[in-house]
Chain A
């Protein structure tokens, strides 16, 4: 019996053979299968972790999801309207206290936000620090060239400096993005996903969207498991390094296959829904009960927002 063609060819070894990617082999070529699988695992881990925190008995967890969403939304708007750093960081301090009351590990919260945001956002806005990109008052003079020069239509002044406006803008932006993300993380971590979705229904969002959202959330896990299976199957058959074109074809085919599967599943789900008496009319269980603490907390957050906004206006600028 002849060996199949693909077994006769010698191809380079796969770069990361085990599930645990060894940090020593920090090659640029990383395995897309590995990456996708890691993404899937990370995704599942994250959702389980947030469910776990949402089940802890804490202040935010017991708050009514509707009012909690509203309160955090108000705070988010405020964070995005404030222009003064002391006010922003004062608010952040308040948020940390809230997190501590809700038994969210503050180390996790701080690390997750401040190890990532300054890197990404900071890098993105880094060029805007310099007067060549965005003119402004010089804060630190870095270099003085003998003459101003021109490259094509671009005109550069002789002095390269970090501008006051650029620096202040960057600090403001990083603080703002970081604090916004903290608020969003806090909302996600302290609310079970089904409660959060139901809370959305109370505001402007039509019922049909919420039901679709709920079903989507469930089926994401089903589809992701399917996808994981496909990639695992491929990984276990993967000997050697395949060409980039072949890899891309594999991704395309898996997406197409997944589409076929999901379509089939939607048919099946529909028939099973119809079999259980679904007529297109949607009924949901569980009504929320408002407690005075919830209303009070919303009041506090509203007052905090208004106070901060007024303080921001008083400080001017």
Chain B
């Protein structure tokens, strides 16, 4: 489910990136309050653990293998906030160092797998497990259900993100600029794959790991319980969190819509209707630029003339900058000819 760069528009990525950054900051604050100074080693190793889970090949009945995300498992073991940070950091490392998932799309990936997944997983787990004993069967069922549901909700989010792209971003003749499928195709496609394969795998891994810990090391399951009594004394606290996330979920498509129209992309009609007239000087310039660069350009649109102008300036500045760079490089080389230097470090002025 790692979304690569290019499938989502930069606008979508920006909105999701902001949401993810805010949530990550909240998560860091919450965790630092509960775990205190052991915080960094615990989180680091939690994140490394989360990264490692994603490397396990899980045998699937048809003979192939699949990967699990492990977000739910981490949320059950370490709590939702620490799990958010763990999975998010694992995703950052995957994107930056191993090319799994895009760099711009990091916000979206963190939102889907690093925030929604552990959160939903944890809520479902708590809801089903209730106040049952740590060794109870009910906890195992809760874990399996949580894993299954969480990854599907997360896939649904990805499906919505994909599906919004062709609605918001396409050219005049309908060519999709990013992911081409609308909501009616993207959501069923994403959900189908996750309801049938990835969901059961995630649920199973969560279930098996928990059942092993119940049998062999139940004390590890109580790390959270010991402080959870003091950590969550009242439920309304959680209600607020859920409400906040809901608001974010509702708002994010609105944000997508709002940022969909790029600044400066007004049509000439829009400008005319807003200003009431077309400034004479700009009109003259616009016709000049149309004439100079693209003589047979159809409409003398105001918006286009702005981009024509800026292109001219930018191009000359760009060429100028490169020329300056080349000249400076040559001068430096002349001065430093005697010195034996390797590679581009000849460019260094001071060491």
| Chain A residues within CB distance 8 Å of chain B | 28-30, 32, 35-36, 39-40, 43, 46-47, 50, 56-59, 61-62, 73, 76-77, 79-81, 83, 101, 103, 121, 125, 128, 133-134, 136-137, 164-166, 168-170, 172-173, 176-181, 184-185, 187-188, 193, 196, 204, 206, 208-209, 211-220, 222-224, 227, 244, 247-249, 251-260, 262-263, 265-267, 269-270, 273-274, 278-280, 282, 289, 291-293, 296, 299-300, 303-304, 306-307, 310-311, 313-314, 316-317
Contact = CB atoms under 8 A, between A and B. Distances in A.
A interface secondary structure, majority: helix
Contacts of B172: 317
Nearest to B63: A29
B251 interface: no
Interface of B: 4-7, 9-10, 13, 21, 24-25, 28, 32, 36-49, 51-53, 55-65, 70, 73, 77, 85, 89-90, 92-93, 95-99, 102-104, 166, 171-182, 185, 204-205, 207-213, 216-217, 220, 223, 264-265, 293-294, 304, 307-308, 310-311, 314-315, 317-318, 321-322, 325, 328, 342-345, 347-350
Contacts of B314: 303, 306-307, 310
A223 B38 contact: no
A220 B343 contact: no
Given A128-B181, A300-B321, A209 B205 contact: no
B293 A314 contact: yes
Contacts of A279: 37
The 5 closest A-B pairs by CB, nearest first: A252-B208, A57-B343, A215-B44, A180-B5, A177-B6
Contact of B10 (A81, A134, A211, A291): A81
Most buried by A among B99, B104, B264: B99
Given A165-B173, A217-B93, A248 B58 contact: yes
Given A193-B96, A204-B21, 11 more contacts: A28-B63, A30-B65, A62-B343, A136-B174, A172-B177, A181-B5, A217-B93, A251-B205, A252-B208, A304-B318, A313-B311
Contacts of B264: 313
A32 B182 CA distance: 36
5 contacts: A133-B185, A184-B99, A215-B45, A252-B207, A293-B347
A292 B47 contact: no
Nearest to B51: A220
Contacts of B177: 83, 169, 172
Contacts of A274: 37
Contacts of B328: 296
A254 B77 CA distance: 15
A65 B37 CA distance: 30
Contacts, number: 325
Contact of A180 (B70, B102, B322, B325): B102
A80 B205 contact: no
Contacts of A178: 6
Contacts of B223: 263
Nearest to B219: A260
Given A181-B5, A280-B37, A170 B180 contact: yes
B59 A244 contact: yes
A62 B344 contact: yes
B208 A180 contact: no
A271 to B, nearest CB: 9
A213 B93 contact: yes
B217 to A, nearest CB: 6
A222 to B, nearest CB: 7
Given A43-B55, A252-B212, A253-B208, A216 B93 contact: yes
Nearest to B341: A57
B219 to A, nearest CB: 9
A57 B211 contact: no
A169 B173 CA distance: 11
Nearest to A313: B307
A219 B44 contact: yes
Contacts of B180: 125, 128, 134, 166, 169-170, 173
B5 A62 contact: no
Contacts of B265: 313
B344 A39 contact: no
Contacts of B55: 36, 39-40, 43, 224, 227
